[in-house]
Amino acid sequence: MPDERRVLTLPMTAAYFRLILRRFGTTAARRAALLAGTGSRDAAASTAGDGEIAVRVQLRQLANLQRFAGPGWGLEMGAALDGATHGPAGAGIVTAASLGAALATLARYATVRTPFIDLQPHSGRQRYVLRVLEQCDLGTVRTPLLEMVLLSTQWVVESALGRRMVEATFSMPAPRPAHWRRYAEYFHAPVEFAGRDASVSLPADWLHLPCPLADPVAHRSARARLEAMRQRLMGDFVDVRIEALLAAGGDAGAVLGDIAAQLRLSPRTLVRRLQRRDTSYRRLLDGHRRRRAVELLLQPELSVAEIAERLGYGDATNFARACRRWFAMSPRAYRSRRAPLHSASP
């Protein structure tokens, strides 16, 4: 997960902030409750136009809403979000040539509208899976936020499919919420509650379906605006971008030159920008491998030697040395200590 403090300071659209205020602030008391601690006055929050707020402001408003809204408000909000509410991202999605292009647009530019989540696609021979990666601790509003993201994805798919996506499968991180029976009212495909991340899986052959509102000129225009917004959002947060690339790649990570090429930077420029962020590529790669080691060591079917190889270590001795630096114990000791805790967790 990227540095939470930096993510919370990133700018995002104020459109969702105003939409929630309008939908749930039906009395003066409720409006005041929604604005508490956000630093926004009632008049300013109602101002027309897009505008921007910090991620922490949006999350604070949602935490305020969680205190008095009934269970399932995330489902209601998710069902209310359509292309118009997503601004240029919605325009880029609906004007794409195919469902695959629409999902690619959604995955690339999700952080432009909501920097607290990122989307990681994986296309296999039979299934296409889109995972929701949480970029910071979502706290008490984790479940409703993930519900809204998945329902927005449902809208994207069904806008091209032209019917309900009954062949798809949704996944929500366990445990299931108290209002889980209401999911059938909003989700048009089965929802499982055993996933590590929120995700949606659908038949891979759907990616070739044409979008009914495809418009190449409008799509290029929307993507150009989104790309400019994305580059501005990322700014000098090059370390956040590298962490996202590493998370989307393999267990071993990648060499500096390959990452620099993906960022369209020279390795020397990338090193300088990381120095300005008071970090290095070696440190980011080490953090990535540590996070992957934690997950892989909890998979009993993998031997320590196999894990070392997957993480890019020349031999198990180098991996063991890294584990002692990370966990102050050997990989086998870490596995034996964490395995009972992992098996007992929901």
Residue 222, exposed/middle/buried by CB under 10 A (0-12, 13-18, 19+)?
buried
Listed in sequence order, the residues at least 6 apart from 67 whose beta carbon sits closer than 8 Å to its beta carbon are: 33
Q: How far is CA 174 from the centre of its chain?
A: 17
Q: How far is CA 268 from the centre of its chain?
A: 29
- Angle, helices 99-113/87-94, rounded to nearest 10 degrees: 170
Residue 250 carries which DSSP code? -
Q: Two tokens at 17?
A: 């902030």
Q: Where are the alpha helices (DSSP H) in 197-315?
A: 216-234, 238-248, 256-262, 267-276, 281-296, 304-310
- Residue-range domains of the chain with CATH: 70-208 (no CATH), 236-344 (1.10.10.60)
Residue 70, exposed/middle/buried by CB under 10 A (0-12, 13-18, 19+)?
exposed
pLDDT single digits (tens) 187-230: 999 999 977 899 999 999 999 999 999 999 999 999 888 887 87
Cα distance between residue 327 and residue 317, in whole Å: 15
DSSP secondary structure, 285-309, as one string: HHHHHHHHHHHHTT-TTS-HHHHHH
Residue 211 carries which DSSP code? P
- With CA atoms as reference, report the closest residue to 182 among 79, 324, 45, 251: 79
Cis peptide before 175 (omega within 30 of 0): yes
Spans of the chain below 50 pLDDT: 43-44, 47-49, 341-346
pLDDT single digits (tens) 88-98: 899 999 999 99
Phi, psi angle pair for 170, to nearest 5°: -105, 155
Phi, psi angle pair for 116, to nearest 5°: -80, -5
Q: Two tokens at 142?
A: 């984790």
Say what the pLDDT of residue 264 is.
84
Q: Please provide the distance, in angstroms rounded to a whole number, between the alpha carbons at the two ends of the chain.
A: 21
- Buried b / exposed e over 14-51, threshold 16 CB at 10 Å, is bbbbbebbeebbeeeebbebbbeebebeeeebeeeeee
